[in-house]
Amino acid sequence: MKRKILAYNFEFSETLDRLRDSFDIEIFEGINPKTDPAFLQALKQAVGIVGLALPVDKELLDHAPYLKIVSNNSTGFNNLSIDEMTKHGVIGTNTPGVLEDTTADAIFGLLLAAARRIPELDQFVKVGNWKQHLTRNEYAIDVHHKTLGIIGMGKIGALIAKRGHLGFDMNILYHNRTRNLEAEEKYHAVYTELDRLLMESDFVCLMTPLTPETDNLMGAREFNLMQKSAIFVNGSRGKTVDEKALIEALRANEIHGAALDVFQSEPVKADHPLLKFPNVVTTPHIGSSTFETEFKMAKLAVENLLAGLTGKRPRNLINPEVLN
């Protein structure tokens, strides 16, 4: 009898073909994993799970007595309760090192779109409002030679700094848990306290992981410190921002605008207040969403899964202590 693997919201099912001779694979899309009867039944026999954003907590683990590995098809893994997985002897893996350039492209693109009002003026043309020369009502703001403040100078943050400094002659400020000396040398990035970054940056780009320390990192106080001419860009996680505070900052014209790829609750509802502002550019969590990058991530997720199920050490092991 073949051992069972569950694929959850896993876009490239063809990458699983190499496993089909040895494993029984069940694919689940768009279901509620806490209530779907077929999923809960399959979980009882599953030895491996591969997929995107499946909440893996004590409740799920208690229903999966044979589970050996959860292969997360993303760089982030805040959906995994790593301590609980380790207690249950379950390996956790992710897919880093694949999406960094792609995500940096997307987030810097959002910055440009917000600064130059591209989505807003695209609609201006399409609905027939372009009937004469542009006036100051349609003017945007420059990006080149401005100051870009990056909160979270990890790999993606550094690549955003690269695009800003080398491509647009931007001055780079950054705030991070530790100094990034390579970014300082290559992109003349200046390490600073968060308050100074907020007060001096023309663009504030949030790129931190979601941790207890960064939960609601950007709140009313932080938005109040920003320049009224500044644009806020969030490419991290939705819960790093107090959305009510952001809404109030926009309503009170405390900041010039925002560009958001992530939200506290996703998919975002159509009546969300942030979607009503013409000076807020939104995208549906597109950071890594190109065909090439997503396919590479799926292949890596399957490689991690296979390694964990065949007694090998996965390349991207999150909790190495579980092997002990």
Domain-by-domain residue ranges, the chain?
3-97+292-323, 100-282
Which residues, in sequence order, are CB contacts of 46 under 8 Å at separation 6+? Answer: 4, 5, 6, 64, 66, 67
Q: CATH second-level architecture of 100-282?
A: 3-Layer(aba) Sandwich (3.40)
Output the pLDDT for position 110: 98
Output the pLDDT for position 76: 86
188 in catalytic set: no
185 in catalytic set: no
Output the pLDDT for position 324: 81
CATH fold match for the domains 3-97+292-323 and 100-282: yes
116 in catalytic set: no
Active-site option among 117, 163, 237, 256: 237
Which residues, in sequence order, are CB contacts of 95 under 8 Å at separation 6+? Answer: 72, 73, 74, 75, 297, 300, 301, 304, 316
Q: What is the pTM of this model?
A: 0.89
Active-site option among 88, 163, 165, 285: 285
| DSSP codes, 128-164 | T---SS--GGG-----TT-EEEEE--SHHHHHHHHII
Low-confidence ranges of the chain (pLDDT < 50): none
Active-site option among 266, 292, 313, 315: 266
**Superfamily for domain range 3-97+292-323:** NAD(P)-binding Rossmann-like Domain (3.40.50.720)
